[in-house]
Chain A
Amino acid sequence: MSNHTETPAASAAAHEHEHGGVAIYAKTLIALLFLTAITIAAASFNFGQGNVVIALAIATMKGSLVVLFFMHLRWDKPVNRIIAMAGFLFLGIFIAFCLLDFNSRNNYVPQNMHPTVIPLAPGTAPAGAVERTNPAALAAEGEKK
């Protein structure tokens, strides 16, 4: 790929015509459809926490195929690759810091939204209702931790 920097601008454009090709795009499409089938099949098994990891890993593989081959980033100029990578890098920083913040909190209900309680019809109080009268969010939080 270092050819890009050495060749004059005019022949670089001619050079770009040679990349890709119907055969490569067809193989990319087949790989994408195959990975879609795998991710659907994997969702019918229960791997616990592993399910979301597998689903996102396959999605990232599919996304990489789209970006590298369909969007031509594999053969594109370095400046475009840097811009694309910068976008994903800052998205990664965004996600990582939000997860850090999220994991350090124990109550996620925003100040202006609070769960209310629905009164039951008289005489229909279920067993254990007294224990479950704490504000719903906090009670559910306690059970999950």
Chain B
Amino acid sequence: MSTTSVDLQSHGQAAGHAAAHHDDPHHQHHFTTMEQQFDTSKIGMWLFLATEVLLFGGLFVGFGMMQARYPQEFVEAHTHLVRWQGSLNTVVLLISSFTMVLAVTAAKKSQKSKQVLFLSLTIVCAVIFLIVKYFEYAHKWEEGWLPGKYYSYKADPIPACTITPGPPTAAATTPAPNAQPCTNGYSTFFSFYFMMTGLHGIHILAGIGVLTWLLIRARRGEFSASYYTPVDLVGLYWHLVDLIWIYLFPLYYLIQ
């Protein structure tokens, strides 16, 4: 069988490594070597990240279309976002990506105390991000800058429409003579804002969850040069969350 020959070959070629890894408790029996096991996990993670790119991609396309549909309203609505808060969160997430990559490096070098330190710093950054996000959301909630039909802010240059489901009514198609135009643009902006930053925030929350799990395992000294797959894969996930924010930040906080 070809499997057997590969097995023999790898034993022959990498006698030192294979012998060292053979008794590794993390080595699952259906993988020939630890390297094969690691590479398989990594391919799986990259496939997951590709689906994440497409998940957020759909929302970005929707946002772009609605921005082209309501250019004036989107520019006016974006002034309600606080630019320094978005900038602060960008810096916090970039630093957290840096501490995450240092945690992965520490795991590869079997440095336990550094793993614990940098994983903790990454979690601290994630929590700071969510605290800033809380203040942003709370402010929008108070002012009525909410998605869709919950939008209740009254001081916009063009009044907000009441959106009614179903086919157009006679009143809508032939308005009264003393009627003025209205817009769905502001509420659409905040629908996308809450959907996209909210989904991103859920990813941050999930990230805090898995980082805490890593921290507990790192404190037990479970990760070393011979086995650091979970740290590496969570690192990839965390950088993707950072990558998504890199696009969210200019599109929401900096549009003109």
- B161 contacts across to A, CB distance below 8 A: 115-118, 136
Q: Are A29 and B178 in contact (CB under 8 A)?
A: no
Say whether B69 faces chain A, with CB atoms less than 8 Å apart: yes
**B interface bracket (residues with beta carbon within 8 Å of A):** 35 or more
Q: Are A40 and B87 in contact (CB under 8 A)?
A: yes
Interface string of A76-94 (1 = CB under 8 A from B): 1101100110111011001
Say whether B1 faces chain A, with CB atoms less than 8 Å apart: no
Say whether B101 faces chain A, with CB atoms less than 8 Å apart: yes
- B14 contacts across to A, CB distance below 8 A: 8-11
**B contacts with A: majority SS:** helix
- A10 contacts across to B, CB distance below 8 A: 10, 13-14, 16-18, 33, 35
Give bound CA distance, A104 to B13, whole Å: 61
Report the count of interface residues on A (CB-CB < 8 A). Answer: 78
Closest partner residue, chain A, to B161 (CB atom): A115
Interface string of A3-25 (1 = CB under 8 A from B): 00000111111100100111001
> Which segment of B192-200, B212-220, B243-251 sits at the interface?
B243-251
Say whether B43 faces chain A, with CB atoms less than 8 Å apart: yes
Say whether B203 faces chain A, with CB atoms less than 8 Å apart: no
> Which segment of B89-97, B120-128, B130-138 sits at the interface?
B89-97
Q: Are B94 and A102 in contact (CB under 8 A)?
A: no
Q: Min CB distance, B190 to chain A, in Å? A: 15
- A22 contacts across to B, CB distance below 8 A: 102, 105
Give bound CA distance, A87 to B243, whole Å: 14
Known: A40-B83, A87-B50. A118 touches B91 (CB 8 A): no
